Structure 1
Amino acid sequence: MFTYHINMKTLFMLLLFCHVASTVKYSMKYVLTATSGVTNLPEFVAFLMVNEVQVGYCDSNSKTVDPKQDWMRDLLNDDPKHMEWYVQKCSSEQHVFRFNIYDFKQRLNQTGGAHILQRMNGCEWDDETGEVTGFNQYGYDGEDFLVLDLQTLTWTAPRQQAFITKLRWDADEATSEFNKYFYIHTCPHWLKKYLHYGRSSLQRTDLPSVSLLQKTPSSPVSCHATGFYPDRAMMYWRKDGEEHHEDVDHGEILPNHDGSFQISVDLILSSVAPEDWRRYDCVFHLSGVEDVIVTKLDKAQIRTNWGKTEIRCDGSLKTNARPGS
């Protein structure tokens, strides 16, 4: 389902298209957003994402196409017609989205307020099987609105109010033929081209260093992984070899200053007997890498400041003694 928040910081995450870790699939996505009645955002914004990495951007204020990666800038310099296509597409999509959001407002009897129309379209390519999967879907005001079925080249309307639009779009044979060719041929061809130009970053995999951290003896034990790339990763606690969710707090994947990422998953040990610690371990899995990193819950391996001397803000010393010392 589509959800949205009206602020630039989270704009390109509006669609909540959560990526699933995969060892062989690559993706290219266009994320387009039009707004009505919103004063603090451009009327139209578009992102190009490759393997969940933003590589291109345009909006109705700047009216230019801005490559977000050095390799994408090189590609557009090497292929001026490619750049020309994006410039023209950015301009034409602004007008199309302006008309569509006006049309949807009329059909839903909306005369005022803030409204948002979004589209996410693109393709996935499996480099092992060669399978290509295209997708094109619209969301309006936080809900799924129209979804293209590429098998039949017809639209599905999850909301009754979109049914008339579905019928009109289904009857547009020229656009249907364009969609058929674009998602089966053009999209995977461009995706492979982008992967070639951006192979040093898009297809790189860096494993993290994983540590067990604890602030005090009564604090949760944090399994912390840092330095991994890309950001498509999973980390979780296990008990007796099974994924464990009770008394577990999952942190978000956060960026590091060097472009890599970090994540922490906390385990609350207040209800765990000391003799049961050996039943727990922490698992880190990076997308594209078969091997996982398993870290046993071992008290001797926990890094902590407990028992070390700290310098207070006033310059005085404080020693945190360990219990029983």
Structure 2
Amino acid sequence: MLYLSNNMKPLFVFLLFCHVASTVKHSLNIFMTATSGVPNFPEFVGVAMVDEVQVGYCGSNMKTAEPKQDWVRDLMKDDPQHLQWYSLQCIGYQQFFRANIDGLKQRLNQTGGRRHILQKMDGCEWDDETGEVTGFNQYGYDGEDFLALDLQTLTWTAPKQQAFTTKLRWDADKTRLEYNKHYFIHECPDFLKKYLNYGRSFLQRTDLPSVSLLQKTPSSPVSCHATGFYPDRAMMFWRKDGEEIHEDVDHGEILPNHDGSFQMSVDLNLSSVAPEEWRRYDCVFHLSGWKDDIVTKLDQAVIRTNRVPEFPAGLVVGVVVGLLVLLVICITGLFIWRRNNNGFLPANSEDLRQH
């Protein structure tokens, strides 16, 4: 589980949670974050994710939760009470988090203007083949695990001594524990199945990626980059002579794109490989459930780079002269336009389009 620390890493890193590896598991995750003393960031943020796609959002001073997908809006229209339930949860948890973060600061004697972050991740996973359900409910404080609910024993575990007092108090609240058990084992999977039914065409689609070879400088590793694929159950690796290699290979994480698709990269260090040996390498992208892999041969001619190319001196001189001529034409046109404004009519718009 990822938590934010006080060194102020990007505050939305908590959204980038580990993906489900199984091809038959679906997930509903709710992430909540409360902050104290953090400038330019809401005091409370809540995000709902289905199969790692953001489906809802709420924040400080919002009176209602906000659907983030068209099919979620359709669901809310058909079931207005569902949106009302989420909106009430959002308002209630804002108050709950505010009270708990203030209480933690006092109990841990955390005074002054220090920044503090309290986070919650809960939800469930459902295996659509076996029917197995797994629920989870975890809290983190200032970048460290704080409390986690054990649904088997209906007790809270406290990895840090500072959380022990809270554990004892929450263990004594039997009504809340029974509600948690019912919600995460029964209600949460029911919600998830409903979302999967409404979002079937979106969540269960298959999108193949665009794959490119990228390199910053001639001495940099070559990055095989795939973007635009869905779902995120994918893998990518480098091969030599048809065999997967691990030496000098650096695998990146699967990351979300703004449109709900995903991207990933795998880098290959070629510093010890002679140019004539490059043809022996290729990059393979495999998407779960898709029979054909996307294979990209390592070819210098197709590598994309952002380095500035070196131009011949004669070409540079020619470009400079051309720019000077263009500048003279522009200046002349400017004077003509000013004369037109002093008594002459500007050129007809149709004439401008013809030129």
Q: Within 5 Å, give how 1:86-165 maps onto structure 2.
A: 86-112=86-112, 113-165=114-166
1:289 Cα deviation after fit: 2.4
* 1:192 correspondence with 2:193: yes
* 1:295 correspondence with 2:295: yes
Return the alpha-carbon distance in structure 2 between the equivalents of residues 292 and 7 of structure 1: 44
- Segments of structure 2 that go 5 or more residues without pairing to the other structure are 321-355
Q: Within 5 Å, give how 1:228-307 maps onto structure 2.
A: 228-239=229-240, 241-246=243-248, 248=250, 250=252, 253=255, 255=257, 260-273=261-274, 276-277=277-278, 280-286=281-287, 288-289=288-289, 291=291, 293=293, 295=295, 297-299=297-299, 302=302
Query: What secondary structure is seen at the aligned counterpart in 1 of 2:38?
Result: coil
Identical columns (%): 66
Structure showing the higher helix proportion among its residues:
2
TM-score (norm. length: structure 2): 0.76
Farther off after superposition, 229-238 or 18-27:
229-238
Q: Is the 8 A contact 2:53 2:260 kept in 1?
A: no
1:168 Cα deviation after fit: 0.9
Report which of the two structures shows the higher radius of gyration computed on alpha carbons. Answer: 2
**Match for 1:14: what amino acid?**
F
**Match for 1:129: what amino acid?**
T
TM-score (norm. length: structure 1): 0.83
Q: In the alignment, which residue of structure 2 is the partner of 1:43?
A: 43
Question: Deviation string for 1:46-66 (max 9, x for gaps)?
Answer: 111111111111112223211
- Segments of structure 1 that go 5 or more residues without pairing to the other structure are 318-325
Question: Deviation string for 1:160-190 (max 9, x for gaps)?
Answer: 1101111111111111110111011000000
Q: In the alignment, which residue of structure 1 is the partner of 2:326?
A: none
Return the alpha-carbon distance in structure 2 between the equivalents of residues 157 and 214 of structure 1: 46
| Cα pair distance change 1:238/1:149, threshold 3 Å | farther
Q: In the alignment, which residue of structure 1 is the partner of 2:62?
A: 62
Return the alpha-carbon distance in structure 2 between the equivalents of residues 89 and 251 of structure 1: 32
1:138 Cα deviation after fit: 0.1
Q: In the alignment, which residue of structure 2 is the partner of 1:316?
A: 319
Farther off after superposition, 53-62 or 115-124:
53-62
**Match for 2:43: what amino acid?**
E
Return the alpha-carbon distance in structure 2 between the equivalents of residues 63 and 7 of structure 1: 31
Query: What secondary structure is seen at the aligned counterpart in 1 of 2:95?
Result: helix
Return the alpha-carbon distance in structure 1 between the equivalents of residues 119 and 275 of structure 2: 52
| Cα pair distance change 1:313/1:103, threshold 3 Å | farther
* 1:74 correspondence with 2:74: yes
1:104 Cα deviation after fit: 1.5
Return the alpha-carbon distance in structure 1 between the equivalents of residues 203 and 282 of structure 2: 30
**Match for 1:97: what amino acid?**
F
**Match for 2:14: what amino acid?**
L
Return the alpha-carbon distance in structure 2 between the equivalents of residues 265 and 200 of structure 1: 30
1:227 Cα deviation after fit: 3.3
* 1:52 correspondence with 2:55: no
1:244 Cα deviation after fit: 1.5
Q: In the alignment, which residue of structure 2 is the partner of 1:173?
A: 174
Return the alpha-carbon distance in structure 2 between the equivalents of residues 151 and 290 of structure 1: 37
1:265 Cα deviation after fit: 2.8
Q: Is the 8 A contact 1:4 1:15 kept in 2?
A: no
Farther off after superposition, 201-210 or 3-12:
3-12
Return the alpha-carbon distance in structure 1 between the equivalents of residues 14 and 147 of structure 2: 16
Return the alpha-carbon distance in structure 2 between the equivalents of residues 222 and 190 of structure 1: 40
Query: What secondary structure is seen at the aligned counterpart in 2 of 1:244?
Result: coil
User: How many residues end up aligned between the 2 structures?
Assistant: 314
**Match for 1:95: what amino acid?**
Q
Question: Deviation string for 1:203-252 (max 9, x for gaps)?
Answer: 21212243445688766433232332234533232456344241547487
| Cα pair distance change 1:40/1:222, threshold 3 Å | closer
| Cα pair distance change 1:179/1:269, threshold 3 Å | same
| Cα pair distance change 1:142/1:315, threshold 3 Å | farther
